[in-house]
Amino acid sequence: MAEAKQNLFDYTEDSIKSLDWREHIRLRPGMYIGKLGDGSSPDDGIYVLLKEVLDNCIDEHMMGYGRQVDIVVEGKTVTVRDFGRGIPLGKVVDVVSKINTGAKYDSKAFQKSVGLNGVGTKAVNALSSYFKVMAVRESKQKTAEFERGILIKEYKEAKTDETNGTLVTFIPDDTVFRNFHFQPEYIDNLLWNYCYLNAGLIITFNGKKYVSKNGLLDLLQRKTNEDEIRYPIIHLKGEDIELAITHNNDYGEEIFSFVNGQYTTQGGTHQQAFREAFVKVIRDFYKKDYDFTDIRQSIVVAVAVRVVEPVFESQTKTKLGSQYMQEGGISMKNFVHEFLSKELDNFLHKNPAIAEALKKRIEQSERERKELAGIKKLANERAKKANLHNRKLRDCRIHFNDDPPNSKSKEAFHERRLESTIFITEGDSASGSITKARNVETQAVFSLRGKPLNCYGLTKKVVYENEEFNLLQHALNIEEGIEGLRYNNIVVATDADVDGMHIRLLLLTFFLQFFPDLVKNGHVYILETPLFRVRNKQQTIYCYDEGEKQAAIKKLGAKPEITRFKGLGEISPDEFVRFISSDMRKQPVMVMPETHLQQLLEYYMGKNTQDRQEFIIDNLRVEIDIAEEIKV
């Protein structure tokens, strides 16, 4: 009772605090930009900062002002220049430093815009160690500079010969984004998406030019290989909607969905509306009640809609929540269905060869599903008997597919969902170290038993017949596709030796062969752990390669103690914590759009050809040369 009384007296007027906009953003950055990260993931905060600035440029273009956006990334410094109308000069400082300030509350000025909350550039400003904005209008310019959201210099209006528009330069704050780096491939994908959704828009990035003439048709052509798709891409356009559709030979569904130029990586109401409408239209066209899984198996789709004042489930705008195209208007579900029932039905009637190819793809999926039905049932029973969540999986509490709470903590919960991670490791010692060191809220561990099977060239039947693969897909919850994926980050954690590398390759083959959309959507990573520990009585340095080791020896001097970690199990849990927490180094597994997956897998995991032997020998020579150079 005395303790309760004391707590009551501790809670006073002094306990209530009011934070200004800058303090709140810096205290709770996840509410504004999702997870922080170091740039190794496409949804890390540094890319959200870039996107928030770019969204303003794109909104100007959508309004008919400015056909070009120039982007330069030099190290950690980002500069974005558009050629729109430019921020009204008297409001330059307010627009980037006063929360809930902007023109996008005026629907007449910015209809069907992405940025609606008046937060975007304010978050960029607050989370940057340096931020500069310059607006040009009618031969006059206004410039202001900030540090972590604090105005340090405001320039007077001045005459200029510059073209109208806005320039923003920022450096993400390295006290917030620790050890960050920009991954050019992620920026590349981001910019292509902007161009596909805004045909005719020109973007330059470090001198490279991005432009699309055919919108989502270009997107799907870039994301697929001509010799892998089953029929020519179907491209349909209407008012406030555009679609590109085809099927290939991969497993699962691959859907790229967009709202008002925003790539909704987690889908939403528009994506679900398409999935339901497509199934209904196909059934009606062929007059057959195909199973929905057969219709959507192997489908590759890009769908874009434009919505008046869209509602997203978080500030990062990765999932659409709008049920209607606009207030008081048609529902999203009916809008998409009406468009498809007319345009897709007409297209298939006019193109019987494509209609026949689509039908064959569906019937092939139907045959494969029925062949697997009995095997899947037995596999599911085995998975239950295996007691997956005790013997193989040390689960976490927060998952990527969890429903957000109906409370003010929705934004914070979304950030935690993005952090959900599963480590796939081999052996009791390695899984034991990670299990003891992990964050039980957001990090799970799946323990493999021995080396996985090389599944290249095998059918999906092997996923159910092989116990390890079957249990892994159940742990990830991807049997029916990646929409139910339980973890945002799938991290392969194997020893840094020949056996560990082999296990890593076999796992990647499994994902690329049967669940390629996991890799294509940026969910798969390789954990980097130190090879060496170099220390003396004053300092310990962990080194990830021979070069770092030599630098550490030179720094510490006087013959420091050097430990070579032969496996993950040799790293104590106390040490492991730092390697899987905020300083975790993980290398993203990326598949470039032009990559021919089957050719790639055949080359590395197929029969031992002469070409592959020569590749191994050549790269072995390179490794030897590097090692010799380091010794010198």
CB 256 within 8 A of CB 305: no
Q: Report whether pLDDT(627) > 50.
A: no
Where do you find CATH 3.30.230.10 in the chain? 216-369
CATH superfamily, with its number, for domain 22-209:
Histidine kinase-like ATPase, C-terminal domain (3.30.565.10)
Q: Report whether pLDDT(104) > 60.
A: no
Rounded mean pLDDT of the chain? Answer: 85
- Higher per-residue pLDDT: 522 or 118: 522
What's 216-369's CATH class? Answer: alpha beta
Cα 201 from Cα 599, distance rounded (Å): 34
Tokens 């020998």 correspond to what residue? 617
Q: Report whether pLDDT(609) > 50.
A: yes
511-551 residue pLDDT tens:
988 998 898 888 999 998 888 999 998 899 988 888 899 99
Q: Report whether pLDDT(295) > 70.
A: yes
Report phi then psi at 303, rounded to 5: -135, 130
What are the residues whose beta carbons fall under 8 Å from the beta carbon of 293, sequence distance 6 or more?
Answer: 365, 369, 480
Q: Which pLDDT value is given to residue 326?
A: 82
500-510 residue pLDDT tens:
888 988 999 99
Cα 198 from Cα 171, distance rounded (Å): 27
Q: Which pLDDT value is given to residue 228?
A: 84
State mean pLDDT over 305-314.
Answer: 83
pLDDT band at 364 (very low <50, low <70, confident <90, very high): very high
Q: Which pLDDT value is given to residue 127?
A: 95
Beta bridge partners of 72: 79
120-133 residue pLDDT tens:
889 999 999 999 99
Where do you find CATH 3.30.565.10 in the chain? 22-209
Give how far Cα 495 sits from Cα of 206, 404, 425, 430, 499, Å: 37, 36, 9, 8, 7
Q: Which pLDDT value is given to residue 283?
A: 96
How many CB atoms sit inside 10 A of residue 600's CB? 13
Give me the amino acid identity at 213.
K
CB 148 within 8 A of CB 159: no
Which stretches does DSSP call E strand in 435-543? Answer: 443-448, 489-492, 524-528, 532-535, 540-543
- Higher per-residue pLDDT: 360 or 318: 360
Instruction: Give me the CATH topology for the region 386-529+568-595.
Output: Rossmann fold (3.40.50)
- Give, as one character, the DSSP assignment of residue 474: H
pLDDT band at 280 (very low <50, low <70, confident <90, very high): very high
Token pair of 436, please? 């003891």
